[in-house]
Amino acid sequence: MKRGSGILTLGLGLLILSIVQNSFALTENGFQSWQQLQISQGLDCNLTAILEAENRLAFQSPSWRYAEIVPQLMWRYSPRYDFTAGLEWSAWKVPRMPEIVGYQPFIETGIKWQRGRWDVSSRQRFQTGSDTDGFVAMFRQLSRVQYRLQGFGDRMSLYAADEWFLNLLQGQIQENRAELGTSYALNAHMNIEVYGMLQNLWNANGISGSIPVIGCKAILAF
């Protein structure tokens, strides 16, 4: 009798634990809209100052919001290689969860290849720091392939990109962004990108899900 009672108590305990864990984990599956801006200014000694800003909106939840500001300094070692250091500031408000604010410095390397109308690039970023949930250590790998279309004065391109986020503290991938888009050069200093993306999250700050995204990005270079 005591043994049966112990098994029943254990089962109830596991059930309660499961309910508690699920109450703190949110699933996101609705559409989002991302607006991004990148401004860069060339400096002496092959240096470039860059400022990126990002805002995200969720169609299904007006109270959901995300903002990001990323100042950085890039050193162009050669036409193929560059190195960057910067700081990522972010603020993330999710319904039924406290606001998450992060300050994460980072370093990254960039590699570029060009052949005919094809442009291929790879970026490796290591970022660490803190947010509301504690210490963060993340490795991010971004790969991109772009093809310049004939006609349009060589101003229009199609591209595909993929970026995955490896949580170094947990040893698991927490996010992946698969993106398809088009880029158009308005002039020598401004490009516009319009894209569709599928963002997959696996317990990233307590959130999991597959999120379709529609986005646009303005790139200004001086």
Q: What's domain 34-221's architecture?
A: Beta Barrel (2.40)
Task: Tell me how far apart the alpha carbons of residues 162 and 165 are, in angstroms, rounded to a whole number.
Answer: 10
Task: Tell me how far apart the alpha carbons of residues 63 and 65 are, in angstroms, rounded to a whole number.
Answer: 6
CA angle 99, 25, 36 (to 5 degrees): 50
Q: How many Cα atoms occupy the beta-carbon half-sphere of 34 within 13 Å?
A: 23
pLDDT tens digits, 120-146 = 999 999 999 987 768 889 999 999 999
Could you give the C-alpha distances from 191 to 142, 179, 180, 222, in angstroms and in order?
A: 20, 17, 16, 12
pLDDT tens digits, 51-100 = 999 999 988 777 778 899 999 999 999 999 999 999 999 998 877 777 88
Output the average pLDDT for the chain: 86
At residue 5, does pLDDT exceed 60? Answer: no
Q: What is the pLDDT of residue 13?
A: 43
Domain boundaries, given as residue ranges, for the chain: 34-221
Q: What is the pLDDT of residue 14?
A: 39
**pTM of full prediction above 0.75:** yes
Would you call 24 helix, strand, or coil by DSSP?
Answer: helix
